[in-house]
Structure 1
Amino acid sequence: MSSKQNLLIIGATGYIGTHITSQILANKTSFGRTAIFTSPHTVEKKPDIIDGLKKQGAEIIVGDTTNEDDLVKAFQGIINSFSPLQMNKHNHKRRRRAIVASQTTWIKLASQSPTVTRFFPSEYGTDIEYGPESATEKPHQAKLQVRAALRELEAEAKGKGEGKGLEYTFLVTGPYAEAVLRAASFDVKGKKAVLMGDGKGRISLTTKDDVGRLTVKALLHPSASKNRALRVNSFTASELDILAEFERQTGGEKWSVQHMPFEELRRLESEAWEKGDPMATGYTLRRIWAEGGTLYEERDNGLVDGEDTEGLGDAVGVAVASQVGQGSHL
């Protein structure tokens, strides 16, 4: 019998799930089965993506993520299960609650499976337990519930003398580089930038492709990533560092710069939450980043042989190309 890990991915065709799945399939020789649990609706609406996944060696399991019987069947023979579902500013409150409910159900069923040993919940963002104040941040509440469910299972298993229950890995990547290097903040065509405060605050960033690569690294180093928040990133830079790299890659001309005071950001954040604006989460996360909420004492890349990551120049290069088109000259 093969000793390679069998993987089940739920949310493989989503925003970050596509990058995680792509990197796993690029390293498929390191794993056994790579199964993707998806809905009939996704199969119908995304046939080209599903066919592409099949050609790359993925096993497609079609079912209802809210149906326990379908999930139990999907977990059969699986060792590690993923949930790369994104709980971000684009998810309304009702959608975030549904994701939490789904993940807690998946965790319960996975823990009851005779084969599943580890669960990777939907993290892939800011560390929701970075400091005492993190527990009160509104965007963190959904993910905190998922962490609590996993730890509760762990405590129950220990109390019954049944080992440590379902293992877990919280892959903390900080904000995606692409979200910070977006045109709204760094406008390549207009050669203008909007910086938070004085622009000197440093942010820990991870490119979406590196999120996938680092997930693979965590899988291949199970002992180092077991039952912990694994804080990884691609690079750390200030907005002034980012601006300088944009200027360098667009011909060296100085860009026009607008500074947004922190007070203004906090005002916009407060108003958005009061109005129920889905952009509220985005404002809160940007404030957390600006306040140093991603500057961990050290990164854990070295624990999983994940030091070979993309750098600031790589990320800016992608941002420039996406804004002006491949082959365009500035």
Structure 2
Amino acid sequence: MSHTIKNVAIAGASGNVGAQVLNVLLHLEFNVTVLSRNSKPFPAAAHVKVVDFTSMESLSAAIAGEDAVIDTTFSPEVETPLRLIDAAAKSGVYRFITSDFGLDPDLPGVHDLPVFGRKKASYEAVKRHAADNHLTYTLVACGVFLDWSLSTGFSGLDLQEKKAFIFGDGNNVVPWTTLEDVGRATANVLLHPQETLNRPVYVHSLFMSQNQILGAAKNILGGTGWGTTYNDMTPLLENALTDLKIGNISASTFEVQIQYCLATKKLAHPWAMDDNTLLGLEEWNSEKVERLIQTIAHKST
């Protein structure tokens, strides 16, 4: 049975991913309700509902009558996404898009790492509700956020200081997707409810290794003066997991787990199945990557 999705609620719409998804939803003229913890400003075309994310009753009331709910919230705790999923199932929401936006959730080992515990719990919850015919679901697998990773240094590259922290040998090719492309793909899922039914969708702006991105940076910023280190990620992962167990937690405790995956082919590699065409994305060429690097490097000066 086909469904037409028109009314959409989104949580986390002020975040890096959520803001992009919201913009595309409004451009596609969905009826959009933003679920927000407070009455912060959002685009006028969106209807804002202030909700208590700790309350099933508040969430259920807010999403009553919605065809789809998109979770773009990001935090380590699992209660909020699980409560939102349960509320959607209870309220008769047809499609739920979880806050995954990462590596292949069906690849053995990926969701076993603690950093992905929230994603794993959400995936298991929507599959359980789908098995009971309470809702349908989609996950968006996009690899690494390309522009965000280059801007923040998460990619291992410091464009300002010309420093490169390479994960392993730097040769593992993985999916990278810009936040704009993630937003477009996520919103476009709702235009294709049957083709995206109860599965992850796989998108990318490009498939490149860390060394290839470093090469693109050198083409733009010059090849001299770079300080480059190649790092065995296994002991770094072991140290991060030890720190996690003893409560010595920092941002790097979680970042290292993802960076370990990026160095490990069995955990991160180009998608076997690709949904770019279905969801309206075009693969980038090297010149476009270099222009992005140039823009980011210019902003950081």
One fold, TM greater than 0.5? Answer: yes
Deviation larger for 241-250 or 303-312? 303-312
Contact 1:7 1:35 survives alignment (8 Å): yes
Contact 1:207 1:315 survives alignment (8 Å): no
For 1:71 and 1:141, the matched residues in 2 are separated by: 23
Match of 1:236 in 2: 207
For 1:190 and 1:250, the matched residues in 2 are separated by: 11
Contact 1:178 1:315 survives alignment (8 Å): no
Q: CA deviation at 1:301?
A: 1.9
Match of 2:43 in 1: 53
What pairs up with 1:76-115 in 2 under 5 angstroms? 76-87=64-75, 96-97=76-77, 100-114=78-92
Q: Which runs of 4+ in 1 moved over 3 A?
A: 251-256, 309-320
Q: Which has the larger radius of gyration?
A: 1
Q: Which amino acid in structure 2 is aligned with residue 140 of structure 1?
A: F
* 2:291 corresponds to 1:317: yes
Secondary structure of the 2:171 match is: coil
Q: CA deviation at 1:220?
A: 1.2
TM-score between both structures, scaled by the size of structure 2: 0.87
Contact 2:172 2:269 survives alignment (8 Å): no
Match of 1:38 in 2: 36
Q: CA deviation at 1:314?
A: 3.5
Q: CA deviation at 1:255?
A: 3.3
Q: CA deviation at 1:303?
A: 5.8
* 2:108 corresponds to 1:139: no
* 2:20 corresponds to 1:19: yes
Deviation larger for 3-12 or 248-257? 248-257
For 1:22 and 1:321, the matched residues in 2 are separated by: 22
For 1:4 and 1:153, the matched residues in 2 are separated by: 19
* 2:10 corresponds to 1:9: yes
Show structure 1 runs of 5+ residues with no match: 88-95, 158-163
Contact 1:247 1:254 survives alignment (8 Å): no
Specify whether residues 261 and 105 from structure 1 end up closer, same or farther in structure 2 by C-alpha distance, changes over 3 A only: closer
Secondary structure of the 2:218 match is: helix
For 2:245 and 2:264, the matched residues in 1 are separated by: 22
Secondary structure of the 1:318 match is: helix
Match of 2:262 in 1: 289
Match of 2:125 in 1: 149
For 1:241 and 1:254, the matched residues in 2 are separated by: 18
Match of 2:144 in 1: 175
Q: CA deviation at 1:306?
A: 3.0
Secondary structure of the 1:16 match is: helix
Q: CA deviation at 1:254?
A: 6.7
For 2:23 and 2:203, the matched residues in 1 are separated by: 19
For 1:140 and 1:126, the matched residues in 2 are separated by: 10
For 1:266 and 1:233, the matched residues in 2 are separated by: 26
Q: CA deviation at 1:267?
A: 4.6
Secondary structure of the 1:149 match is: helix
Q: Which amino acid in structure 2 is aligned with residue 25 of structure 1?
A: L
Contact 2:174 2:270 survives alignment (8 Å): no
What pairs up with 1:136-215 in 2 under 5 angstroms? 136-155=112-131, 157=132, 164-181=133-150, 182-183=152-153, 185-215=156-186
Question: What do residues 166-195 of structure 1 show as CA deviations (whole Å, max 9, x unaligned)?
Answer: 000011111211354344622223333221
Q: Which amino acid in structure 1 is aligned with residue 98 of structure 2?
A: P
TM-score between both structures, scaled by the size of structure 1: 0.80
Q: Which amino acid in structure 2 is aligned with residue 325 of structure 1?
A: K
Q: Percent identity?
A: 23
Specify whether residues 294 and 197 from structure 1 end up closer, same or farther in structure 2 by C-alpha distance, changes over 3 A only: closer
What pairs up with 1:228-307 in 2 under 5 angstroms? 228-251=199-222, 253=224, 255-276=226-247, 277-278=249-250, 279-292=252-265, 293-302=267-276, 304-307=278-281
For 1:165 and 1:226, the matched residues in 2 are separated by: 13
For 1:147 and 1:297, the matched residues in 2 are separated by: 19
Show structure 2 runs of 5+ residues with no match: none
